[in-house]
Amino acid sequence: MTLTGRAKALRRARRSTSLARREALTFYLLISPWLIGLLLFVLGPMVASLVVSFTRWDLLSPATFIGLQNYEKMLTRDPLFWQSLKVTAIYTCVYVPMELAGGLVLALLLNQRLRFEGVFRTIYYLPSVLPGVAFVVLWIWILHPDVGLLNTLLSYVGIQGPRWLADPGWALPALLMMSLWGLGRSMVIYLASLQGIPRHLYEAASIDGANSWQSFWKITIPLLTPTIFFNLVLSIISTFQTFTSAYVATDGGPLDSTLFYVLYLFRQAFQYFNMGYASALAWVLFLIILALTLLIVRSSGRWVFYEGERR
């Protein structure tokens, strides 16, 4: 029998119950560290936070049970809840595609065996290596309307730059710009995947007469879909939770134009000491992200292609 033939036979054999049971056991054994951690660091605290969301609690005095009042207030009497959702949604819708496409473009660019590619990659990755607060502080300064780098550069070409973080219309775009400087991170993930595409596929394709555009669409992109899926899901999840840049740079202003959801949550928890309300906000955020992710995961069956997946 050929190797593939024997493998197929083995696979068929493994579908029998005792082997399947052994496989299931191995599965659970292998994921046990994660399962335990899940209980300790995730489920336990999550249940605690859900319970807290039904109370009023300022952390220092005992909690009072108030039922669904927090949720009711959030949905009917809190304009800042809706504002923060709006800000976060707009930002996410703009940033995620830009990050996805930008990271991919950079990775493709640097995957071409250019000279000094190590240097190039490091340069692009460099910004995302800066400690979060230092990164933002540097940008606050670059965006300074009077003495900052950006407006100085713009003045060289005769443009009077806007007041960026001090202008409610420009603060959010400013934060977007700031975050795009951290593209290196997603570039690295794409690079790792690009490197994992076996070269012989491209060789075979070019022998068959395909040009680079066709190779790109027929080989690169399909094989990259797991990575794109990965980056898409993670990007949405993390962008929805943007916090540090707004906290350090604008504190939600001016005029609440950069009031991100998690910033608002943080403020409720650590400045107003409304732990109950903050927990309720957290759960609503969780549900929103859950819904979005489910949507993407469901649709992934249609456009994500796994070479090594068993069907």
Encoded tokens for 113: 């065996």
List 63, 137, 205, 219, residue binding another protein (CB under 8 A): 137
Q: Rounded to a whole number, what is the distance in angstroms from the first to the last CA of the chain? A: 23
Q: Which of residues 49-108 bind another protein (CB under 8 A)?
A: 49, 56, 58-61, 106
List, in sequence order, every residue forming a beta bridge with 64; answer none if it has no partner. Answer: 56
User: Which window, 83-91, 92-100, 213-221, 261-269, contacts another protein (CB under 8 A)?
Assistant: 261-269
In angstroms, what is the minimal distance from the CB of 114 to another protein? Answer: 6
In angstroms, what is the minimal distance from the CB of 94 to another protein? Answer: 19
156 forms part of the interface with another protein (CB under 8 A): no
251 and 168 Cβ atoms separated by less than 8 Å: no
Peptide bond preceding 254 in cis form (omega within 30 of 0): yes
Closer to another protein by CB, 32 or 97: give it: 32
**Please, what's the b/e burial string for 22-57 (b: 16 or more CB within 10 A of its CB; e: otherwise)?**
eeeeeeeeeeeeeeeeeeeeeeeeeeebeebbbbbb
Strand pairing class (64-65; 55-56):
antiparallel
User: Which window, 89-97, 213-221, 263-271, contacts another protein (CB under 8 A)?
Assistant: 263-271
254 forms part of the interface with another protein (CB under 8 A): yes
In angstroms, what is the minimal distance from the CB of 246 to another protein? Answer: 9
In angstroms, what is the minimal distance from the CB of 159 to another protein? Answer: 14
List 2, 12, 34, 301, residue binding another protein (CB under 8 A): 34
220 forms part of the interface with another protein (CB under 8 A): no
37 forms part of the interface with another protein (CB under 8 A): yes
User: Which residues 6+ apart lie within 8 Å of 227 measured at CB?
Assistant: 189, 190, 193
Encoded tokens for 290: 């859950």
User: Which window, 81-89, 90-98, 220-228, contacts another protein (CB under 8 A)?
Assistant: 220-228
- Give the integer Cα–Cα distance in Å for 311 and 304: 13
What is the DSSP code (8-state) at residue 55? E
Q: C-alpha 254: how far from its chain's center?
A: 25
157 forms part of the interface with another protein (CB under 8 A): no
282 forms part of the interface with another protein (CB under 8 A): yes
List 141, 159, 217, 303, residue binding another protein (CB under 8 A): 141
